[in-house]
Structure 1
Amino acid sequence: MDLHGGNRRVFNRLGGPSAAPTLDSSKNQKVCYNWRAGKCRRLPCPFLHRELPHPSGPTSATANGPDASKRFADDSGFSGPAPRRGPNFNNNHNSSWRRMGANKVVRKTEKVCDYWVQGNCNYGDRCKFLHSWSLGESFTLLNHLDGHQKVVTGIALPEGIDKLYTGSKDETVRAWDTNTGQCMGVLNLGGEVGCMISEGPWLFVSIPNVVKAWDTQTNQELSLSGPVGQVYAMVVGNDLLFAGTQDGTVLVWKFDNVTNSFEPAASLKGHTRAVVSLVVGANRLYSGSVDHSIKAWSLETLQCLQTLTEHTDVVMSLLCWEQFLLSCSLDQTINVWVATENGNLEVTYTHKEEHGLLNLRGMYDSESKPVLLCACNDSSVCLYDLPSFSNKGKIFAEQEIRAIEVGPGGLFFTGDGTGFRVWKWGEPVPKP
C-alpha cells in the first residue's frame, strides 16, 4: 500500500529554513522539475526549489522586504510563493495573511507517512501525512503487541482468566497476559488458524479439517472432527456450536455434560460455496457465504427460513444489534436489515464505502453511545456513530485488519499482519 502518496507539490522537500534556496551565483536559475512534481530527493539540488517571481507586478521581496517569499514558505510549512496582491490587497492585509500563515496548521490527509513508519520523517508537524495510526479524539492506542509472523485471524478473551489469545495464519496461537501485555506462551497447531472465538471458559480454534476446543480453566483439550477444509467462522447459540466450512456446510455440535465432550448435532446445507461469516440473534442463526447470499436458520428446528440475496459479492461479516441485522461485503456496502410483519428481513438502509469490507463489530463508547467498527480491505477500520453512520474516526495499519474484538472497560483490539493493537475509548469530555 502506498502510504505516502504520489505526486504532490505542497512541501519544501529540503525541510526547513536552513535549507531554503537562495538566489546566488552557484544556483542554476531554473525551477526544479522534480520539486514541482513533489519528488525531488537531491540535497543539495542545483535547481531552485521555489517559483520564480512573476514578470509583471511587484514581487513579495520588493513589497514586504528582501526575504518575504522565503519567510512565508518557512513559517507556514508550504513551499509556494507569497500570496499575490489583488486590487484591494494593501500592506496591512498582506501582513495579516502572513501572520495567519505563520500559525497555519497543516491539514492532514488520511494516509500514514511511510517515512514516519520507518522512523525517519524530517518534516515533523509540518508533514501533511499522518504521524499516527488513527484519526479521532475519542479513543487512544494503548499498545502494539507483535510476535506473529503472518496475519492475525482471531482474537479471543475467555471468561474467568486474565489472558487474551490470538490466532494467526502462521499456524500458532499465542497467549498474552492482559495485565502486562507479555506473551505467556506459543502453541504450534500445524495448520493455519481460520478463526477463533471464546464462549465462557472455552476457547475454540479452527485449523484445516478440525476444530480445537480448550477449557482454559481446566486445560481440557478436545478435537472436533467433521469439517472438510478450513473453518472460516464459528459462533455459539442455544447451547450449540456452529462452524462455517470451506465446502459450504454449517456444522453443529452440542456439548454433552455426561461425557464432557462435544457431539455432532446437525449439518446445515444450502450454501453453494464457503461459509465465511456467522452470527446468532433473535432466535436465529445467520450465515454469510462466498456465494453472495445470507441464510437465516431457526435455532429451534435448524431449518432455513429465508435466503437474502441483495449483496453482489462475498458476505464477509454479520452483526446482530437490537432488532437489526447488519451485513458487510466485498461489494463495498453495509446493509442494515429489519424484520417485516411477516418475520422476513428486508434492507432498510445501505451504507456505501470506497473499498471492500471485511469485518464488523459493535460496541459502546465512553458515553454509552453505539459505535460500529468496520474493517476495510484498504488496511483501515472506519468507526461510525449509529444509527446515523456519521464518521467518528479511523484506524490505519500496514496490512489488512482481519480480526476485531471487543473487550471490557472500553477496550477493543485490531489484528493485522504485524500483530495486534490495543485501543481504549477515552473518558467523556465534560460539557461547559
Structure 2
Amino acid sequence: MDMEGNKRVFQRLSGGPSTASDSRHHPQQQQQQKVCFHWRAGKCTRHPCPFLHRELPAPAQPLSNGGAPKRFAEDSGSQFLRRGPKFTGGSNTWGRVHGSNAVAKKTEKLCNYWVQGNCTYGDKCRYLHSWSLGDCFDMLTQLEGHQKVVTGIAFPSGSGNLYTGSKDETLRVWDCQSGQCAGVINLGGEIGCMISEGPWVFVGLPNLVKAYNTQSNADLSLNGPVGQVYAMVVGNGLLFAGIQDGSILAWKFNAATNGFEPAASLSGHTLGVVSLVVGANRLYSGSMDNSIRVWNLETLQCMQILTDHTSVVMSVLCWDQFLLSCSLDKTIKVWVASDSGNLEVTYTHNEEHGVLHLCGMHDSEVKPVLMCSCNDNCVRAYDLPSFAERGKIFAKNEIRAIEVGPGGLFFTGDGTGQVRVWKWRDSP
C-alpha cells in the first residue's frame, strides 16, 4: 500500500520541552516543578508559560531485569494473526489440555487495599500484591498522562515513538528511548480507536478519521463517517472504518494527490460496527447488533452473516484457518469453514464475565498466545488452541486496548488512562 504523504510539517507532535537554561532564569519554577495543566490537555497558549511543558521524570528504575533503561523496541516485529481462515477443515483440538477438556483456572485475587496503597498486611497479605499473575511476562514501566480510558495504542514501523489515544480527546506521543511524553495533541473529540499501518497512524474520531504519516509529517482528515469511528483495519489497499451508524467506509490512497479518496460504503449492520479484522481475502466485522458479517475483499459484497452470539460482538481475530470472536455474552467462539465454505462454530470458550477485546501474540518460544480482556478488569493469557491459562494481568479498570510490539513487548491501556509496557520472559 503506497502511502507517501505530503511534506506539511506536523509541528503539533513537539511538546516544547523546557531546558536547563529555562530553570536558571526562573528559579521559582525550578522549585515548584509543576507541569502545565493546559499543556497536558494540548491547549496551552501562554508564551512563555511559568510551568513545565514536559512530564516530570519518573523515579529511576530499570525497564528490564538487571539492565539499564532501553527503548521499547530495536526493530519492527512481524504482525501476528494476519492469515485468517483458509476455508479448510481440521481436527478439533480446541480446549484440550493434556488429552482432556479441562481448562486451567486460577482463583487468585488482587488485594483491593494494595491497589489503593494502604494494605497493612504487607507480605503476609493473603491476596496478590502484583499487577500480574504467572511467570511468563513482566511489567517494565507505566506511562501516566491520560485522564480517561485508553482506546487505542499504535507502534508505527520505523518510528521511535509510541502513540496512545483516549476518550480524554488527546493523542499522546511517547519517546521510546526515555519513556517520557514527547507531545500531546488535543483532537477535540473522543478517540474511539487507533491503528498503525507502516508509517501511518490512523485515529478514529466522531465523524472523522485523522491520518498522520510519521515519516513525511503528513496530516490528513478523512471525512464521511456519521458518528463515532469505533474500529479500523487495512486490507487489499483499502482503509476500512467501522462507524456508529452501522456502516463500514473504505478509502484508497491516491499517490498523485497524496490523499485518501472514498472508495466504498458497506451497509448491512443495523447498529454500530465495533470490530474489524482482515484475513484470507475476507473482511470480518463485529457489531452491536450481535452479528458478524463476512465480506469479500475483492467485490466488497457480504458473503455470510454469523448470528451465534447473543450480545455485542466486541472483537474479532484471525489465527491460522480459524476466526475467533468474543462478546459481552461471556463467550469466545472459534469458527472454521465447513465443506461448503461457510463458517461454523467449532468450539465455544466460556468466561465468567463479558469479553471486551482479543489480541494475539507469540511468547518467548514463539508459541501462539491469546490475550483476552474481560470486564472484571483482568486480561487472561491463554495458550492456543488448548485455552490453558498462562497468566493474568490486573488493572484498576477495564483494559480496552492491547497492542503487540517487537522483541516480546506488548502494551495495555485501561479505563483509568494508564498505559503499561510488558515483556515476555525468556524461556526458563
Residue 152 of structure 1 aligns with which residue? 150
1:326-375 CA distance string (max 9 Å, x none): 00000000000011122110100000000000000001101111100000
| One-letter code aligned to 1:313 | S
Residue 422 of structure 1 aligns with which residue? 421
Cα separation, 2, equivalents of 1:110 and 1:174: 34
Residue 352 of structure 2 aligns with which residue? 354
Residue 165 of structure 2 aligns with which residue? 167
Shift of 1:144: 1.1
Report matched runs for 1:124-163 at 5 Å: 124-163=122-161
Shift of 1:403: 0.4
Tell me, what secondary structure is at the counterpart of 1:402? strand
Tell me, what secondary structure is at the counterpart of 1:116? helix
- Contact 1:318/1:326 (<8 A) preserved: yes
| One-letter code aligned to 2:425 | G
TM-score, length of structure 2 as denominator length: 0.74
- Contact 1:234/1:243 (<8 A) preserved: yes
Name the structure, 1 or 2, with higher relative contact order (CA <8 Å, separation 6+): 2
| One-letter code aligned to 2:211 | A
- Contact 2:358/2:372 (<8 A) preserved: yes
Shift of 1:156: 0.2
Cα separation, 2, equivalents of 1:117 and 1:302: 48
Tell me, what secondary structure is at the counterpart of 2:271? coil
1:80-99 CA distance string (max 9 Å, x none): xxxxxxxxxxxxxxxxxxxx
RMSD: 1.0
Q: Which has the larger radius of gyration?
A: 1
Residue 254 of structure 2 aligns with which residue? 256
Residue 324 of structure 1 aligns with which residue? 322
Residue 295 of structure 2 aligns with which residue? 297
Cα separation, 1, equivalents of 2:246 and 2:212: 25
| One-letter code aligned to 1:426 | R
Establish whether residue 387 from structure 1 lines up as the match of residue 376 from structure 2. Answer: no
User: Gaps spanning 5+ residues in structure 1: where?
Assistant: 1-107
Greater shift, 326-335 or 339-348, is seen at: 339-348
Shift of 1:312: 0.2
| One-letter code aligned to 1:304 | C
Cα separation, 2, equivalents of 1:208 and 1:221: 17
Tell me, what secondary structure is at the counterpart of 1:270? coil
Greater shift, 414-423 or 241-250, is seen at: 414-423
TM-score, length of structure 1 as denominator length: 0.74
Tell me, what secondary structure is at the counterpart of 2:114? helix
- Contact 1:109/1:129 (<8 A) preserved: no
Cα separation, 2, equivalents of 1:110 and 1:154: 29
Residue 406 of structure 1 aligns with which residue? 404
Report matched runs for 1:18-167 at 5 Å: 110-167=108-165
Cα separation, 2, equivalents of 1:232 and 1:152: 13
Cα separation, 2, equivalents of 1:216 and 1:342: 44
| One-letter code aligned to 2:365 | E
| One-letter code aligned to 1:172 | T
Among all aligned residue pairs of Structure 1 and Structure 2, give the percentage whose two residues are the same amino acid.
72
| One-letter code aligned to 1:111 | K
| One-letter code aligned to 1:419 | Q
Residue 79 of structure 1 aligns with which residue? none
Cα separation, 1, equivalents of 2:259 and 2:407: 33
- Contact 2:334/2:348 (<8 A) preserved: yes
| One-letter code aligned to 2:263 | A
User: Gaps spanning 5+ residues in structure 2: where?
Assistant: 1-105
Cα separation, 2, equivalents of 1:210 and 1:277: 17
